[in-house]
Amino acid sequence: MVLMHRSVRWLVLAIGFVIVAGALLLGSRATPVSAHPIYSGTCGACHSPDSRIQVSATPIYNSGGQTTYSFTITPPYQGIVSYRVSSGNTVVVWNYGINGTFTVPNGGSYELMVVVKPDGSMGGSATTMVYPTNPPGQPTVWDQSHVEVFGRCSDGQVIFTVGNLGLTMNGTSQYRIYVDGALQTQGGFRLGPNQVQTVTTPGGPGNVQIQADQRPLHPAGDMPSWTVSGCVFIPPDLVPTSLTAPTTAIVNQQIPVTWTVQNQGLGDAKKSSWNDRVYLSADPSLSSDDTLVGTVGHSTILMNSDTYTATVTTSKLPNVAPGTYRLIIATDADGRLEETSEANNTMARDIQITASDLAPTSFMPPAVGIAGQQISLVWTVTNQGNGNAVPSWIDRVYLSTDNTLSADDPQIGSLAHAAILADGDTYTASVNATLPNVSSGSYYAILSVDADARLPESNDSNNTAVGTIMIGAPDLTPTNLTSPANGVMGQQIPVAWTVGNQGSDNALPSWNDRLYLSIDNSLSSDDAMIGSLAHSTALAGGSSYTANLSPRLPGDAVGSYYLILATDADSRLSESNETNNSTAVAIQITAPDLIPTSFTPPSTGITGQTIALAWTVRNQGNGNATPTWTDRVYLSTDNTLSSDDALVGSLPHSTALVPGDSYNATLSPKLPVVTAGSYYLILAADSDSRLSESNETNNSTAVAIQITAPDLIPTSFTPPST
């Protein structure tokens, strides 16, 4: 492939703008020139290469179809300078001066040449082009864009790039693509500064050329071009040359695999990416049913004759039967590359796959156990396979009514294993298992090694072992419950009971007996618990215990109730019978009802003085009023007892008051010091509500009292005269 660039004609240009403020008016309709380019050229034949001469021409205004320019030469020169403006072979202006102006008709292009007379330090000439304003509708000045093109061959395609190295193009230019001189396609482009446009076309053995147009008035006025010859695709040929992997492995194991690939084709492998894949196969030929175990992607060019080496750690090898298999490396496994040959992309090597085989060799559960209690289980397992058992796996123990493990058998213990068990090795395991709450009888303990089948084994049918176990259970039942037939609301009562273990095995602590008060003889969630007693001593089968408690009856229950005893109330024990744990006895609950029947304070009193009080209180309830309680007398501004009433006196009572009886009480307290006026003395029986009464609203009564106050007035005062 041959790349041919166009020949380039260059004028040295100062790419920039000059802003001319204001305008030089020649005639009545001169137009100021703003933001026009500075045209400049550099000396091409100076006497002193270190002292370059440059000329710059700047448009300053146009009028009447003409444009006027000013020009400057640098570096400053004091000698004789001539300048000439010509269009083709026609000289338009020829004059002398270091800096000056000239005017030329609009349209076309003109050459400005300055000639410096040699003076021993510098000399020569400098040339630049100017482009006066075109007729209306055409660009008036060059937009200072600059188009360049470039081409390259890639995998049999020619990729051309059109770029603008100057300022923004003020319109659309054209490009044309030729194949061996014949026009193949064309299109337009309009680019900003440093922008590019890519055009892709098929290659071939001949010449593919692009031409692009510059914008109007470009100083060079050329058509940049680029030619690419002999762009044809030369395919690579990837071939695995080596494959390294372990000679043996076990199922579920991850192994390292390394391979080398060489590009034996004449072309380069240039695709953005391709994949090498590793497979496990039952034969040396790659087929659709082989198992993918590893992939490595490639994203760099592989030149012809070059090689690369890759390594991957495979995924877990599949659960296959032990035997001889093949690891196959397939380079460019997805066929993304076009190669000279697709038949040499694989390589295979043998690998021996082994497997473990865990089998329980001993399992001896205890002969007997108690429902709900722990038992100790011990077992031994041997790896009878030809490969390691790689962790982790779990052994589980189940309780079953038969000797076959099924989904409804409850698990009673498990143990996880985190160490490799080599072929031929054994381990011994133990666990404390809790028996479920089952009826007494004969059961089977079933050990399942690798119960979740995490290990791929050569034999999955020998993972269980079975042992028998006789399970017994206690059976607690109340045999006696005694309590008073009557009780007083809010008071304690003595309760005693006996519980027997009718089961075949011990009841192991701890458990709780509880007493409830219920409106019927069946225990329910809304019954009130009034007492509880914990037991911390084992109760052998056939034995019993007696317990007692003095619970307090609730303060809001009056009438006929049942006292219910529930043994093992929290069901902590696994019993053979859970329906016989309670018994009930009837109890009648009574309550006192204290009410003042008389209250006789004096009708008047003096503030701060003692008064005599007497009252009578009767128990009109059906239960005893059990001491102690306190009666209190208050002074109030109204006949209703409230928290801001003043306490006058109190009297405690320490003798029981049976239903229907009364007591008389007296007290001589001092009245509080208050303002004289009308008040009430209020008596409150059991004012602290220590008694649980059937009626708490009738404990007070009020009597009016008029309180006076003394008023001392001095009636004489005779001091000595001297």
Question: CA end-to-end span of the chain, whole Å?
Answer: 153
Q: Are residues 250 and 224 in the same domain?
A: no
pLDDT at 486 over 80: yes
Domain assignment present for 183: yes
Domain assignment present for 1: no
| 370, 397, 651 from 442: Cα distances, Å | 12, 16, 72
Domain assignment present for 718: no
pLDDT at 31 over 80: no
Q: Are residues 580 and 599 in the same domain?
A: no
Q: Are residues 415 and 326 in the same domain?
A: no
Please state, in angstroms and rounded to a whole number, the distance separating the CA atoms of residues 665 and 649: 12
Domain assignment present for 572: yes
pLDDT at 673 over 60: yes
% of the chain surpassing 70 pLDDT = 88
pLDDT category, 458, cuts 50, 70, 90? confident
Q: Which has the higher per-residue pLDDT, 180 or 504?
A: 180
pLDDT at 480 over 70: yes
Number of folded domains in the chain? 6
The string of pLDDT tens digits covering residues 318-330 is 888 889 999 999 9
pLDDT at 43 over 60: no
Is 0.75 topped by the overall pTM? no
Domain assignment present for 716: no
- How much is the average pLDDT of 142-167? 92
The string of pLDDT tens digits covering residues 74-88 is 766 555 577 788 887
Please state, in angstroms and rounded to a whole number, the distance separating the CA atoms of residues 435 and 535: 22
Q: Residue 325's pLDDT is what?
A: 97
Q: Residue 59's pLDDT is what?
A: 74
Domain assignment present for 290: yes
Lowest mean pLDDT among 218-232, 617-631, 667-681: 218-232
- How much is the average pLDDT of 640-648? 96
The string of pLDDT tens digits covering residues 394-409 is 999 999 999 999 999 9
CATH of the domain at 73: 2.60.40.10
Total H helices, total E strands in the chain: 0, 51
Residue spans of beta strands (DSSP E) within 299-425: 307-313, 323-330, 346-354, 358-363, 368-370, 374-383, 393-400, 411-417
Please state, in angstroms and rounded to a whole number, the distance separating the CA atoms of residues 198 and 191: 12
Query: What is the DSSP secondary structure assignment for residue 525, as one 8-state letter?
Result: T
Q: Are residues 555 and 610 in the same domain?
A: no
Q: Which two tokens stand for residue 463?
A: 């993972």
Q: Are residues 204 and 258 in the same domain?
A: no
Q: Residue 371's pLDDT is what?
A: 86
Q: Are residues 324 and 383 in the same domain?
A: no
pLDDT category, 131, cuts 50, 70, 90? confident
pLDDT category, 42, cuts 50, 70, 90? very low
Q: Are residues 300 and 375 in the same domain?
A: no
Q: Residue 561's pLDDT is what?
A: 97
Q: Which of 78, 102, 130 is the last residue of a domain?
A: 130
**Which residue range(s) make up the domain with 366?**
358-469
Q: Which of 431, 447, 469 is the last residue of a domain?
A: 469
Q: Residue 79's pLDDT is what?
A: 59
Q: Are residues 586 and 481 in the same domain?
A: yes
Q: Which of 327, 354, 381 is the last residue of a domain?
A: 354
| C-alpha 644, offset from chain centre | 61
- How much is the average pLDDT of 204-219? 89
Q: Are residues 281 and 214 in the same domain?
A: no
- How much is the average pLDDT of 243-260? 93
- How much is the average pLDDT of 240-268? 94
The string of pLDDT tens digits covering residues 371-389 is 888 999 999 999 999 888 9
Please state, in angstroms and rounded to a whole number, the distance separating the CA atoms of residues 615 and 593: 16
Domain assignment present for 429: yes
Contact criterion met (CB below 8 Å) for 403 and 446: yes
pLDDT at 282 over 50: yes
Mean of pLDDT over the chain: 86
Domain assignment present for 107: yes
**Residue entry with tokens 């003395």:** 681
3 state SS for 29-84: CCEECCCEECEEEECCCCCCCCCCCEEEEEEEEEECCEEEEEEEEECCCCCCEEEE
pLDDT category, 19, cuts 50, 70, 90? very low
Q: Residue 3's pLDDT is what?
A: 42
Q: Are residues 119 and 171 in the same domain?
A: no
Q: Which has the higher per-residue pLDDT, 219 or 650?
A: 650
Please state, in angstroms and rounded to a whole number, the distance separating the CA atoms of residues 716 and 718: 7
Q: Are residues 152 and 224 in the same domain?
A: yes
Q: Are residues 507 and 535 in the same domain?
A: yes
